[in-house]
Amino acid sequence: MAQQGFIMLRKYWYKEAVIYCLDVGNFLDGNSDGIGDFNGLASRIDYLNKLGISCIWLMPFYKSPRRDNGYDVMDYYAIDPDYGSFGDFVEFVRLARERGIRVIIDLVVNHTSDQHHWFQAARKDKKSRFRNYYIWSKEKPKDADKGIVFPGYQKSTWTYDEESGEYYFHRFYDYQPDLNIDNPEVREEICKIMGFWLQLGISGFRVDAAPFLIEMKSVDGGSGQQDDYEYLREFRDYLSLHEGDAIMLAEANVSPEDLAKYFGDGDRMNLLFNFILNQRIMLAFAREEVQPIIEGFRAVPPAPMGTQWANFLRNHDELSLDKLSEEERQEVFAAFGPKKEMQIFDRGIRRRLAPMLNGDQKRLEMAYSLLLSLPGTPVLRYGQEIGMGDDLSREERNSIRTPMQWSNEVNAGFSSVPPDKVPCPPIKGGDFGYEKVNVASQHRDPDSLMSKIARMISARRECPELGIGSYDFFETDNPAVLIHRCQWDGNVSIMVHNLSKKKTKVKIPIKEFKETNMVDLLADQEYEQSSAGNDQLDLEGYGYRWFRLGEYSF
């Protein structure tokens, strides 16, 4: 690889990263109190290193009442005591960095908890400097019910505060008052929060609810008529000034025409979650046809130089289907969430991927092979590597927020306390209970889902063209087979996936494949070695194959 290529990889480390999202409180209990903590997480850093991930995204661990999984922040400069101390946090970051693993954290600054001292001061004294940290109105705005994010669980975006005698604005739950980002003091405070955590060794932030962060608030309609995307550049400028290679990964599930504004000219967000592609992938899985995936790539704007799309199959929230047509949404519901208890907010599914795919390991392998080979930065969520399930008896999105399943021992090896002392018990019994689905059993099995995903991650990290390079898709004579090519710095990868349960033979319409000995890097099973001039490939049902040519083919 040319020297220029090495420089690009260092500068744009996030383009070839494999990001692993986890909730500290649900990962491992290190002090036997029933709640996960940084000591427990630190003790599993070698597990994550062996899995091959290169960046850990930590969900909120700030001091919080935890009414919304920690997204209701009480203090941005404090770690929730249940998770440990600053010393524990810094030790975890140190151990991660020693292994070449970066750490990014959630930046939740479009709202606070109503228990935050800023809001408490604001509601008690209208002359307080914190009063203008929030949005107030003497009268309830006319369209206060407009723009509700959680239908069925939220009645309004304005709530009357008895102590203050006025209404306050909240895009989310009523215990999460929105911050007034128009106030320069609030933006300055956000920069201070970023600087504080950067000094503790992190490599960037996942920006929660980015569209609502930049929303221009007003008291006459819930929100203003324009959005100030320049706020994103302001935050990015601060970030780059203080830590040159730190990143901002934004959550912005918006229309395609607005997505480019979050990238700017490469001077706003470094990465954006690709919600549109995510929804098209699920439609493709439901139909067992590849066309929706290709349409998903075509629907989003190209990422400017220095930016990247972040791809995922499931995250910590519902599987949102809001960008699909009503007919398409019903197709996905019928395939993966046919019962009302599996659906949420009239737009999404509250299940993990493994139960949606009926625990079919071949299909799960194909799904993660696709995720890890598509152009962009892949994001995995804890437990996906072992095929964890969900607990639909838990309310709302908490159905997919259960403890990591480490072993078939009591409490899934998550905690040593008596089961009735674990606030959030692990999944027990059935096809996805910890007795059957756990790290320990899959660690011993070279054919387990976890072992296969680890090999996929390893293969991906040998192919930087998947994150850095250009890409194209190819038509085939089988609507269930997806073929795409990625190229960069003299390296070419060709990826083939069969979304159907049916075995097939497919022709590869790519010049390099016909004229060059392609190296078979990875496959769902042993296949006959392909050779120059042979462009016919066998694929099992839900089969996948990774090929490579170039300087580092091996």
- Could you give the residue numbers annotated as active site? 208, 251
Give the residues across from 158 on adjacent strands: 169
CA distances from 8 to 11, 159, 173, 421 (A): 5, 49, 42, 49
Instruction: Take residue 87 and report the two structure tokens written for it.
Output: 């010393």
Helix (H) / strand (E) containing 377: strand 377-381
Q: How many CB atoms lie within 10 A of CB 244?
A: 8
How far apart CA 388 and CA 386 sit, in angstroms, is: 6
Q: Supply angle C-alpha 429, 435, 438, rounded to 5.
A: 125
Give the distance, in angstroms, between the CA of residue 530 and the centroid of all CA atoms in the same chain. Answer: 36
How far apart CA 415 and CA 405 sit, in angstroms, is: 10
How far apart CA 380 and CA 372 sit, in angstroms, is: 9
> CA 84, 90, 94, 100 torsion: positive or negative?
positive
How far apart CA 420 and CA 248 sit, in angstroms, is: 39
Give the distance, in angstroms, between the CA of residue 210 and the centroid of all CA atoms in the same chain. Answer: 14
Instruction: Take residue 109 and report the two structure tokens written for it.
Output: 């600054």
Give the distance, in angstroms, between the CA of residue 534 and the centroid of all CA atoms in the same chain. Answer: 39
How far apart CA 531 and CA 514 sit, in angstroms, is: 8
State whether residue 202 is helix, strand or coil.
coil
How far apart CA 69 and CA 61 sit, in angstroms, is: 9
Give the helix ranges, DSSP H, for 312-448.
326-336, 353-356, 361-373, 439-443
How far apart CA 283 and CA 289 sit, in angstroms, is: 8
Number of H helices, E strands in the chain: 18, 23
Looking only at the bridges linking them, the beta strands covering 491-498 and 481-488 are: antiparallel
How far apart CA 3 and CA 331 sit, in angstroms, is: 49
Are 494 and 510 within 8 A, CB to CB?
yes
How far apart CA 484 and CA 499 sit, in angstroms, is: 14
- Which residues neighbour 395 within 8 Å (Cβ) at sequence distance 6 or greater? none
**Count of alpha carbons within 13 angstroms of residue 63, beta-carbon side:** 13
Give the helix ranges, DSSP H, for 125-249.
184-198, 210-213, 230-242
Looking only at the bridges linking them, the beta strands covering 536-539 and 504-507 are: antiparallel
